[in-house]
Amino acid sequence: MSENPTASPAPTDEASQQAPLVGIIMGSDSDWRVMHEARDVLAEFGVPAEVEVVSAHRTPEKLVSYSREARDRGIRVIIAGAGGAAHLPGMVASLTTLPVIGVPVPLKYLDGMDSLLSIVQMPAGIPVATVSIGGAKNAGILAARILATGDQALAARLADYSDGLRDAVEAKNDALKQ
Ligand code: RP5
């Protein structure tokens, strides 16, 4: 797996040919080791997504323009991952009315607790839907669920996915009894 989004091969399926509905952003290319899971699961569901490094601290002007322009470009959900002093998701949420899903990226120290606490405790009025530390896959699935509120075909794919999880658990349960 590639360590940065620009070097990673994009999914070659149909989703990569369509206009992106989900914006996956992260504070650094070093976050890609976690954040690629959001892109991967969205590709599995056929949801087109774009990937961009946007740093709250190192590229603040880009943070503002990306957040302000995302809705008009057709983005419907933003997934924002950051580590340490993880201000990206909250700042994006303050600059757009799109739903923002925050992914706390674990770094070398503090086991990601710093990232989690930086993202989760938002002031009333500016929501960020925070997933678990390193939970980029769930962020992708949650974004798909948000989009599926207006997309029956996508909802059906999500239901199939859940059925698959259930069947896998039951198969392991059966195997235990052999
Ligand atoms: C945060 O600082 C990024 O989201 C990243 O998790 C962390 C470290 O960034 P690098 O020093 O690896 O670029 O803003």
Query: Count of CB atoms within 10 A of residue 162's CB?
Result: 10
Q: Is 73 annotated as a binding residue?
A: no
Q: How is the chain split into domains, by residue range?
A: 14-151
CA distance 46 to 7: 21
> What pLDDT does 8 receive?
46
**3-19 mean pLDDT:** 61
- Separation of CA 27 and ligand 1 centre (Å): 6
**Domain 14-151 classified CATH 3.40.50.1970?**
yes
Contact predicate 53/27, CB 8 Å:
yes
pLDDT of residue 17: 81
82 lines ligand 1 (CB under 6 A): yes
Residue 57 Cα to ligand 1 midpoint, Å, equals 10
- State residue 2's pLDDT score: 43
Dist. CA 17 → ligand 1 center (Å): 29
Task: Give residue 165's pLDDT.
Answer: 97
Task: For 90-129, give the DSSP string.
Answer: HHHHHH-SS-EEEEEEP-SSGGGHHHHHHHH-PPTTS--E
List Cβ neighbours of 99 (8 Å cut-off, separation of 6 or more). 76, 77, 78, 127, 129, 146
Cα distance between residue 79 and residue 142, in whole Å? 10
Q: How confident is the model at residue 5 (pLDDT cuts 50, 70, 90)?
A: low
**ipTM score:** 0.97
Mean pLDDT value of segment 67-90: 98
CB contact set of 9 (below 8 Å; sequence gap of 6+): 2
For ligand 1, what atom is nearest to the CA of residue 58? Answer: 14
C-alpha 161 – ligand 1 centre gap (Å): 32
DSSP, residue by residue, 25-65? EESSGGGHHHHHHHHHHHHHTT--EEEEE--TTT-HHHHHH
Instruction: Look up the pTM and report it.
Output: 0.92
CA-closest residue to ligand 1 atom 13: 28
| pLDDT tens string 116-164 | 999 999 999 999 999 999 999 999 999 999 999 999 999 999 999 999 9
- 80 in contact with ligand 1, CB cutoff 6 A: no
Q: What is the pLDDT of residues 47-76, one digit of tens each?
A: 999 999 999 999 999 999 999 999 999 999
pLDDT at 13 over 80: no
pLDDT for res 9: 46
72 is in an annotated binding site: no
Task: Give the mean model confidence (pLDDT) for residues 79-99.
Answer: 98
End-to-end CA distance of the chain: 36
Place of tokens 């070659």: 12
The answer to whether 31 is annotated as binding is: yes
Residue whose pair of structure tokens reads 């710093």 in the numeric block: 114
